[in-house]
Chains A and B, each alone.
Chain A
């Protein structure tokens, strides 16, 4: 059942009740009506509190501030900055849950819900970390495959021309994990091993010529 179905049902029930209200009586019906009225009281209380916490029907602001994205990306500093930018106000709370509540209250007070939604959406979008790999990533990836295609002697010559720092860049961009303690010899062996693998695997996905 959804809330539209429930509202139709209540409307229908209300109409029937109004039509027959002057003629119905009896203990069983009365007891049942009392139970229904008690349940309605409880439901109305929940509904009122739900709607009051989402003033003017603006739901997305609350949804966003409690979302998984907020859990990952939202900080007090971000909320402070947002509030200043949107409503020109200062956030006083020092812990995040209280700051979230205060942010929502002050945004509602200022009637800037739409701006608040926009701010949170933009902030979450900007906070997503995307590994770009640097501007020479594509070049270093091609280089990696080329190294994998070389015979042992050629590979040794190529490696001999490079500094340790260059090798670390090639390894890092191409997904090889290493630490500060990894030696040049060990890193060279890793590059050799995985560059050969990449060369073989990528060659296998090469589009065959139909001519």
Chain B
């Protein structure tokens, strides 16, 4: 199976990284019959507790054992305790107690991941970059899409994700604070590309493949102007070579939708919780564009 491994990154928080990962992942699984793996790398564990009830999640990842923390802990201690099959959660449990979306799999995170950043610098390059790739690379091949939900920073955990990924997807809120971070992000990824180059397979070059706008509101000028400034910045970054020409601003923009926020409390993707909502419709259309982009249909 030819899998697409994509890192969802932005070192600014609150830009909709997790919402994008969870809802695109669920829509790919349900409407496109894709086999999808979400890898939660954020100590806040938001993807995990969105898709799992908190009691089940807490029990599952107790002491970090059956979570992505174990991958990093193993690397730090030279052990191999991470077991993919016992860590992976298959499908989403609905309130009936039965699972839906059997094609959507999750490697949950645990708060213990917070401890990783303090010690991971003990490992040297290239080992430190290759942690995820070494632990999960073979399993990635079983999926059509692997979506890496990164923490809101560019520290080592995120770097391992960028190293493993075929491309980066940047969720973005249309405001100046996000805009100001975009250039730094593109620059940092450019630096990583150079640093990783000797250790990467020939065709893999970390790059921003797509930018996704969320929390969009149509009222007034505010968001239209901010998206225009984003487009101008992207053109500028492409002109300077920091962004590849094929990097795209994916449409439609995800509009603010209270049903998406509500679906986090129901521990379901919006496509299952409120399929008639504008949130579900926007994610359906966006996922179609996502498939078109990454499978080069159009």
Binding site for B on A (CB under 8 A): 1-3, 6, 60, 63-64, 66-69, 71-72, 121, 124-125, 128-131, 138, 141-142, 144-145, 173-177, 194, 197-198, 201-202, 204-207
Contacts and interface: CB of A to CB of B under 8 A. Distances in A.
A140 B227 CA distance: 15
Interface stretch (B141-149, B155-163, B229-237): B229-237
B99 A1 contact: yes
A68 B99 contact: no
B226 to A, nearest CB: 8
B134 to A, nearest CB: 30
Interface in B97-115: 97-99, 102
B30 interface: yes
Contacts of B102: 2
A155 B197 CA distance: 47
B51 to A, nearest CB: 14
B98 A2 contact: yes
B252 A175 contact: no
Contacts of B180: 204-205
Given A68-B271, A72-B281, A207-B183, 5 more contacts: A131-B251, A176-B221, A201-B176, A205-B236, A206-B183
Contacts of B182: 205
19 contacts: A67-B30, A67-B271, A68-B284, A71-B281, A131-B251, A144-B232, A176-B224, A176-B225, A177-B220, A177-B224, A197-B225, A198-B225, A201-B179, A201-B233, A202-B229, A205-B182, A205-B237, A206-B236, A207-B240
Contacts of A144: 228, 232
Given A67-B284, A72-B281, A174 B228 contact: yes
B233 A72 contact: no
B187 interface: yes
A9 B103 CA distance: 21
B232 A128 contact: no
Contacts of B226: 175
Interface string B6-41: 000000000000000000000000111100000000
A1 B235 contact: no
Contacts of B276: 68, 71
Contacts of B229: 197-198, 201-202
Contacts of B179: 201, 205
B214 to A, nearest CB: 16
A68 B292 contact: no
B268 interface: no
Which 6 A-B pairs have CB atoms at the shortest separation, nearest pair first? A175-B224, A175-B228, A68-B280, A2-B99, A69-B284, A205-B183
A126 B227 CA distance: 23
Nearest to A68: B280
A22 B146 CA distance: 52
A72 B232 contact: no
Contacts of B240: 207
A153 B187 CA distance: 37
Contacts of B275: 66-68, 71
A60 B285 CA distance: 17
Contact of B252 (A3, A129, A198): A129
B288 interface: yes
B91 interface: yes
B289 interface: yes
B274 to A, nearest CB: 9
Contacts of A125: 288, 292, 297-298
A202 B232 contact: yes
